Structure 1
Amino acid sequence: MAVAVIMEFKGATLAQYDQVIEKMNLTKGGPGPAGALGHWVAATDDGLLVTDLWQSREQYEAFARDQIGPYSAEAGIPEQPKVTYLDVHNYFTPGADA
């Protein structure tokens, strides 16, 4: 079952986010990692809000353990994110034929 993952990074900056994305060898607007269905990020008054859509919670958790956590620490992000999981009832795939 698809899962929405909402990550709130208190004290993080967009510059730090860009460093993490570079370390993951991902590019803005490009394809995501295996298992990821969608992603967006925005600055908030006190940090960053990252919202992902994954094929499963297990795929996200493995990616978070292996890449998000270590690379966020390397970029100097001060805290682990507050993470919220939501079971997804439906989602749309851009560019998919109807």
Structure 2
Amino acid sequence: MAIIITFELAGVGQAQYDEAVDRLTGGAGLNRPSDWPVRGLVLHAAGPTPDGGWHVTDVWESREAFEHFAAVLMPILQEVGIPTTPPLVCEAYNVVH
């Protein structure tokens, strides 16, 4: 079952997001799901929030795929100073891509 992951990151900006992406990919960027360090990503969208924070929404093929990614991601977020509060996790009812 696909899941939707949503991070609302108060006080985080594009520079921190870009640094985390660089560390995830060794500087290669995240342009396709195959660029990610683990398999299972369906969709990734990120951008600034009106209050100056950062919003990230991912769709993952399964909870297990996301948990594998989280094991890679969380230490990187800590290194770049992005809060590691738990994301909102919802089962996806419908995914169109």
The alignment's TM-score, normalised by the length of structure 1, stands at 0.81
Structure label with greater radius of gyration: 1
Is there any run of 5+ residues in structure 2 with no aligned partner, and where? none
Where 2:89 maps in the other structure, the secondary structure is strand
Where 1:80 maps in the other structure, the secondary structure is coil
Shift of 1:30: 2.7
Shift of 1:82: 4.5
Which ranges of 4 or more aligned residues in structure 1 deviate by more than 4 Å? none
Is there any run of 5+ residues in structure 1 with no aligned partner, and where? 94-98
Task: State the partner residue of 1:22.
Answer: 22
1:60 matched to 2:66? The reply is yes
Q: CA-atom RMSD, angstroms?
A: 1.6
Aligned-pair identity (%): 32
Q: 1:3 to 1:50 in 2, by over 3 A?
A: same
The alignment's TM-score, normalised by the length of structure 2, stands at 0.82
Residues 44-87 of structure 1: CA distance to partner in whole angstroms, max 9, x if unpaired?
114111000001112112211x222111111122x223411111
Task: State the partner residue of 1:50.
Answer: 56
Residues 18-46 of structure 1: CA distance to partner in whole angstroms, max 9, x if unpaired?
11111111524233441110000011114
Asked whether the equivalents of residues 2 and 88 of structure 1 are also in contact (C-alpha less than 8 Å), the reply is yes
Out of 78, 86, 92, which is 1:88 matched to? 92
Count, aligned residues: 91
Q: AA paired with 1:41? A: A
Q: AA paired with 1:81? A: T
The structure richer in strand per residue is: 1
